């Protein structure tokens, strides 16, 4: 029988204390989640990441892991890949939630970074090429008009607070609204306004949901490719600006990663 005060079988610290301990150790393992190949490749090249031949993911899924080391960091970039049937990027909430779950389970990152393009509201101060750090994520296309389920549908989640990162890199901060459509119905627009969002994308709130569920802090870096409350058709404007804006996104991600290097979550 274990003697009173014997520490050898002491239970592990409660999850809250574990979370606090991980807040105070230097970040070493990061996972970057990016929906589109055009957004991902500049970052793969910048950090000289290479495609992992032994995928940690189930056989047959199109998800791709690029990996490498940069300064003190193990960096993995996960791209959900091309749709196996249609051959286009697997954008949207389902793929991004799945890869976030799989990446956390297999790679156990200290931090998730979701980088990507987004639509921006000029009425809220967004311009083409602006890069934002997201403070809050919510959904705009999950309408469930029953008390409490309505809030579940909106699914508001906070990104990790990173006041030092925002100050030092001089980035704008805004709220993000996520849905599974590139276009915007009138109902979507009302919900985005109710979410007080400056940015609209197709992945952020889904990634925030999984990250919170599995208690991994997440940072969202979003660059504006199109103005939602402007007069140009979104798809056209998006494609026109994609290459130039992706270059800005890539530079911002480099700065964010340089800032993160050597720090712990509590210092962000």
131 binds ligand SAH (CB under 6 A): no
Min separation Cβ 154 and ligand SAH, Å = 17
Our CA angle for 66, 77, 152, nearest 5°, is: 145
Q: Contact 130/173 with Cβ under 8 angstroms?
A: no
Smallest distance, ligand SAH to C-beta of residue 91, A: 4
Residue 33 binds ligand SAH, judged by CB under 6 A? no
- Annotated catalytic, 180? no
Alpha carbon distance 167, 184 (integer Å)? 32
16 as an active site residue: the answer is: no
Q: How many angstroms separate the CA atoms of 17 and 55, rounded? A: 33
Among 93, 234, 241, 246, binds ligand SAH (CB under 6 A): 234
Using CB under 6 A, pick the residue from 130, 136, 141, 203 that binds ligand SAH.
203
Binding mask 50-89 for ligand SAH (x = CB under 6 A): --------------------------------------xx
CA distances from 121 to 8, 36, 72, 82, 115 (A): 57, 22, 37, 29, 18
Determine, following the binding rule CB under 6 A, whether residue 117 of this chain makes contact with ligand SAH.
yes
DSSP 35-92: S-HHHHHHHHHHTT-EE-SS-SSPTT---EEEEEEETTEEEEEEE--B-TTT-SB--S
Interaction between residue 134 and ligand SAH (CB under 6 A): no
| Residues designated as active site | 39, 226
Q: Which residues bind ligand SAH (CB under 6 A)?
A: 35-36, 88-89, 91, 116-119, 182, 200-203, 225-226, 228, 234-235, 238
């Amino acid at each position: 029988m274990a003697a009173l005060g014997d520490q050898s079988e002491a239970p592990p610290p409660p999850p809250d204390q574990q979370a606090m301990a991980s807040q105070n150790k230097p970040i070493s393992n990061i996972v970057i989640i990016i929906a589109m190949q055009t957004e991902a490749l500049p970052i793969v090249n910048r950090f000289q990441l290479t495609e992992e031949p032994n995928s940690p993911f189930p056989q047959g899924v199109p998800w791709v892991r690029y990996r490498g080391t940069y300064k003190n960091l193990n960096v993995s970039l996960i791209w959900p890949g091309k749709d196996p049937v249609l051959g286009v990027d697997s954008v949207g909430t389902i793929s991004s939630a799945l890869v976030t779950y799989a990446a956390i389970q297999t790679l156990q990152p200290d931090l998730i970074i979701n980088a990507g393009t987004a639509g921006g509201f000029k009425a809220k101060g967004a311009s083409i090429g602006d890069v934002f750090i997201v403070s809050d994520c919510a959904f705009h296309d999950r309408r469930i008009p029953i008390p409490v389920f309505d809030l579940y549908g909106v699914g508001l989640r906070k990104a990790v607070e990173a006041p030092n990162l925002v100050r030092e890199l001089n980035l704008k901060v805004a709220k993000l609204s996520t849905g599974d459509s590139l276009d915007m119905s009138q109902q979507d627009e009302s919900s985005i306004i109710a979410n007080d969002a400056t940015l609209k994308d197709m992945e952020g709130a889904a990634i925030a949901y999984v990250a919170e569920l599995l208690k991994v802090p997440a940072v969202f870096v979003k660059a504006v490719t199109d103005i939602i409350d402007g007069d140009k058709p979104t798809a056209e404007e998006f494609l026109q600006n994609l290459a130039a804006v992706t270059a800005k996104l890539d530079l911002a991600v480099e700065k964010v990663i340089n800032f993160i290097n050597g720090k712990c979550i509590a210092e962000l």
